Structure 1
């Protein structure tokens, strides 16, 4: 706390003492006035003001020390005070409250970690069940000519369920990002190609084709797994909101001295102007999402979160009815 604020705080806290001192001084001055025949004496005034100032200086030092102790307490509950400090009982009580608060937070973190671990294990178990469903559906597709469409629908829903389960796992993984992050020099075209291959089925099913225009010599700093995850999420949205068959998703890179910008542009339905600033909000789907049952409002939120942790930047430009362009900015890693 600065000097002026400390002085002001001391005067406010000692307002009652100052008022009593002034009342006492007034009483003494009136007494001297009556005793000495109507003549004012400066001695009692100077004496009381002197002791008042001494008291305020003492309280200022005490409060300033207390504020310093409390400021240190923000970082650690290990308050350092002398045994004869006037507010030792108060500081000791605050230390106990602080320790109790930290203990409760620690216990809450343990419970949350246990729940996350349990949910993660359940999701892994469900992925195993999904794999079994796929095998059964493919076998049915081969042996049963009468129910071909039913088995195709089962396999299609299997892919959607698998994507959702993987997305749920990534929500848990991103909380422990520092344990699952390997920053390295990555070839951008290889990263984009890998993401496109992961979404190959979606491209074919939606009759949308990718168009890549990225120099093979462009390298960026990122994490291969998480970097690919972000690109996959953006590509998935581009395919999902394409407004016509045989449309294209264009991926190209623009580089300068320090940054490389990957642009992913679709020919889709676009985003309304009033929703642009909210597309990265958690669970926000907008009017487009309400019309698409696959929208969860999690994908772009996760992209923003991951990009922030990777020291990348992501932004969206869109015009309703014409398409959307997502730009991902990386640190240039070229030699």
Structure 2
């Protein structure tokens, strides 16, 4: 509570007391009272006034501080009226009722927005599942009628499937735990599956793929890890050089298994590196690539945080390296052994 403003708001009350004290002094002097008795009365009045106003100030300050502390501890501060005690003062009760009305209105609006978000996400998920059927059908038709045209068409179908998967995982990223199944997976299998998902994209762009030391097992969700690898593969192809290479290397360090995905592309400028996982950030490379959205790496980071995988990036002029870090659960290994 602002001390200066508090006393400024009480200037009228203090002025009224001063006028009353002056009038009482004149009245007592007319009545023939001595100066010492009048001074004693005024000193007593001033003392009582100071004690009363000081105690009122400290009481109000303590009440306001309690309210501010409770508000700071709330994640949804519009619910403050639900936990604060009803005030005793008449004017404070009016503000209390206004806060209750505002909180109720906010709860109603929040409920409406949440229902609309849930309905929209359900619609998006249903639409994506429906659109996958014609995509799969077109892919089968192209594979059964191979030609130069169908090869180009299959590459575009892979891109379409990639964008639909990205939209689906973005919609589900808020509640990843509902679609998360932890089991022991071999990183080599997941890497090969991701390469198969993007085989036409890799073949068309003549990307040389290298896999080394990948026979490590970790506990995670293979579907989510596979999606993250798909994002990294697409980025590597998007920012490729004339002779693109993609290297998957797995190493163990202490109680961690690290999967490095390195390319020899155009790299990421040092000034952009700290922000590449921010939503919508495209950086200098994104300005030269028209189809960059700044969603891919943001979604990778968000999913990694949800499922307990560390992700970091390192870039040089000769390419970029993304590292996925899986923690080894010693307790699980002990139980299995």
Distance 2:218 2:141 in 1: 42
User: What is the CA-CA distance between 1:289 and the residue it aligns to?
Assistant: 3.7
Q: Where in structure 1 are there 5+ consecutive unaligned residues?
A: 1-7, 143-147
CA contact (8 A) 1:254 1:262 kept: yes
Query: 2:166 aligns to what?
Result: 167
CA contact (8 A) 1:81 1:88 kept: no
Distance 1:168 1:276 in 2: 25
Q: What aligned pairs does 1:71-150 form with structure 2 within 5 A after superposition?
A: 71=70, 74=77, 75=79, 77-79=81-83, 81-82=85-86, 84=88, 86=90, 87-138=92-143, 141=145, 148-150=147-149
1:232 aligns with 2:236: no
Give the alignment partner of residue 12 of structure 1, picking from 5, 11, 29.
5
CA contact (8 A) 1:219 1:332 kept: no
Distance 1:99 1:270 in 2: 52
Residue deviations 1:18-52 (CA, integer Å, cap 9, x gap)? 56426734873796499367768254224323233
Q: TM-score, normalised by structure 2?
A: 0.79
Give the alignment partner of residue 323 of structure 2, picking from 309, 323, 327.
327
User: What is the CA-CA distance between 1:270 and the residue it aligns to?
Assistant: 1.4
CA contact (8 A) 1:220 1:260 kept: yes
Distance 2:114 2:326 in 1: 33
When structure 1 is superposed on structure 2, of 100-109 and 161-170 the one drifting more is: 161-170
Distance 1:42-1:234 versus aligned 2 partners, 3 A rule: farther
SS of aligned partner of 1:260: strand
Name the Cα RMSD after superposition: 3.3
Query: 1:296 aligns to what?
Result: 293
Distance 1:282-1:16 versus aligned 2 partners, 3 A rule: closer
SS of aligned partner of 2:85: coil
Query: 1:248 aligns to what?
Result: 245
When structure 1 is superposed on structure 2, of 55-64 and 306-315 the one drifting more is: 55-64
Distance 1:203 1:157 in 2: 12
SS of aligned partner of 2:271: helix
User: What is the CA-CA distance between 1:272 and the residue it aligns to?
Assistant: 2.6
CA contact (8 A) 1:249 1:266 kept: yes
1:276 aligns with 2:273: yes
Distance 2:285 2:84 in 1: 58
User: What is the CA-CA distance between 1:110 and the residue it aligns to?
Assistant: 0.9
When structure 1 is superposed on structure 2, of 100-109 and 19-28 the one drifting more is: 19-28
Q: TM-score, normalised by structure 1?
A: 0.79
User: What is the CA-CA distance between 1:97 and the residue it aligns to?
Assistant: 0.9
1:209 aligns with 2:208: yes
User: What is the CA-CA distance between 1:199 and the residue it aligns to?
Assistant: 3.1
Aligned length, in residue pairs:
319
User: What is the CA-CA distance between 1:105 and the residue it aligns to?
Assistant: 1.0
Distance 1:138 1:253 in 2: 33
Q: What aligned pairs does 1:54-73 form with structure 2 within 5 A after superposition?
A: 54-62=52-60, 64-65=62-63, 68-69=66-67, 71=70
SS of aligned partner of 1:284: coil
Residue deviations 1:185-214 (CA, integer Å, cap 9, x gap)? 544444434333433333333322332233
Q: Where in structure 2 are there 5+ consecutive unaligned residues?
A: none
User: What is the CA-CA distance between 1:137 and the residue it aligns to?
Assistant: 3.8
When structure 1 is superposed on structure 2, of 159-168 and 179-188 the one drifting more is: 179-188
